[in-house]
């Protein structure tokens, strides 16, 4: 599966480059454009030609996010840029020239980004280390050792004080851990996994905390994690399509689910709203272009979906304002 994921990422890169020229053939695009009455597109950075994937994405406070992206910029240079996102506007604050920071689960604590692992150059495993990155001064240091090795997929839930990690090992086995960042302490959880939950890494940008429980969108299913009973079960609802690497964002109304791609790398534009209280799933809109593997966040008014992968240039922030 890891090799398959790598081939998928390569194919997505080619799609992005092809999409860049296809989009440019329609003429130059403005910095920002209103697509529908509740969807707006804005460029991440005017210097960016193509988005080549995300590094990390974290929520700093109720209105601010910190993020890194791998981008092709004017002059045909590839850079890892770090931005602050606030009120729909991104501000370049530095560069992060560390090759392993590719789609890394992360959280924000004490003015630092905690990075859980990352790509291991020349190896199919992921790095078993938590790093602390300070985006203001660019420093990075080792924060903690993970208590596991030889894993190739990881997703993370954050409840505001404790992280929950869902890990897949090279042999296909699954495990779960809690992590207290203040005590720097990992604890293995005695957790069973529902049948069919096999690729936790595909839920990385679709793992959210909502009203005391964790939700991981996994293909056409949604797994529900209860931290008190230490259980992971399927929600009594099913999405009408089976896409991986979706985006999920929790709001006061429920959990919005965006995009994704299927086993044949066909991308989705669908937007759904899942309300856990009554297990109701409703299709509520359409993305302006097909998109998958993109992080997203909610500032209390609007949802921001950044970069990602797909057949377009992937250099935009999709700003979605929920109706009602």
Q: How is the chain split into domains, by residue range?
A: 2-320
- What pTM value is reported for the model? 0.90
CA distance between the termini of the chain:
41
Per DSSP (E only), the strands in 27-88 are 32-36, 39-43, 48-61, 64-73, 77-86
pLDDT, position 313:
84
* Mean pLDDT value across the chain: 90
**Phi and psi (nearest 5°) for 95?**
-130, 150
- Chain segment 130-152, per-residue pLDDT in tens: 999 999 999 999 999 999 999 99
Q: pLDDT per residue over 81-125, tens digit each?
A: 999 999 999 999 999 978 788 899 999 999 999 999 988 776 777
Look at the domain 2-320 and name its fold. Answer: Neuraminidase (2.120.10)
pLDDT above 70 for 193: yes
Token reading at 117: 């692992």
The residues facing 155 across adjacent strands are 166
Split at pLDDT 50, 70, 90, the class of 18 is very low
Burial 24-45 (b: 16+ CB within 10 A, else e): eeeeeeeeeeeeeeebbbbbbb
Mean pLDDT of 8-19: 45
Q: Residue 32 corresponds to which tokens in the numbers above?
A: 């920002």
What is residue 281's predicted lDDT score, i.e. its pLDDT? 98
Q: Tens digits of per-residue pLDDT, 163-179?
A: 999 999 999 999 999 99
Residue 186: is its pLDDT beyond 90? Answer: yes
In contact, 221 and 238? CB cutoff 8 Å = yes
Q: Read off the pLDDT band of 6 (50, 70, 90).
A: very low
Residues whose CB is less than 8 angstroms from the CB of residue 70 and which lie 6 or more positions away in sequence, other chains included: 51, 52, 53, 54, 55, 78, 79, 80, 102
């Amino acid at each position: 599966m890891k090799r398959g994921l790598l081939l998928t990422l390569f194919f997505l890169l080619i799609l992005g480059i092809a999409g860049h020229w296809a989009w440019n053939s329609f003429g130059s695009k403005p910095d920002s454009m209103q697509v529908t009455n509740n969807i707006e597109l804005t460029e991440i950075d005017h210097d960016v030609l193509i988005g080549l994937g995300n590094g990390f994405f974290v929520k700093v406070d109720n209105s601010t996010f910190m993020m890194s992206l791998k981008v092709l910029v004017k002059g045909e240079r590839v850079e890892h840029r770090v931005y602050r996102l606030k009120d729909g506007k991104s501000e370049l604050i530095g560069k992060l020239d560390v090759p392993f920071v590719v789609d890394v689960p992360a959280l924000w604590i004490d003015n630092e980004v905690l990075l859980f692992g990352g790509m291991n150059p020349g190896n199919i495993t992921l790095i078993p280390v938590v790093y602390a990155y300070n985006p203001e001064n660019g420093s990075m240091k080792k924060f903690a050792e993970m208590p596991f090795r030889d894993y190739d997929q990881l997703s993370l839930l954050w409840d505001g004080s404790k992280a929950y990690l869902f890990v897949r090992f090279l042999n296909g086995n699954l495990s779960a851990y809690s992590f207290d960042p203040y005590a720097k302490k990992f604890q293995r959880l005695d957790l069973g996994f529902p049948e069919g939950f096999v690729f936790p890494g595909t839920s990385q940008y679709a793992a959210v905390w909502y009203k005391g429980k964790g939700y991981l969108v996994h293909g056409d299913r949604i797994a529900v994690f209860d931290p008190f009973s230490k259980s992971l079960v399927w929600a009594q609802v099913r999405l009408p399509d089976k896409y991986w690497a979706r985006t999920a964002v929790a709001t006061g109304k429920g959990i919005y689910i965006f995009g994704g791609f299927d086993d044949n790398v066909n991308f989705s534009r669908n937007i759904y709203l899942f309300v856990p209280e009554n297990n109701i799933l409703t299709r509520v809109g359409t993305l302006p272009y097909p998109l998958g593997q993109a992080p997203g966040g909610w500032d209390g008014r609007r949802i921001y979906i950044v970069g990602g992968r797909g057949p377009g240039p992937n250099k935009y922030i999709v700003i979605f304002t929920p109706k009602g």
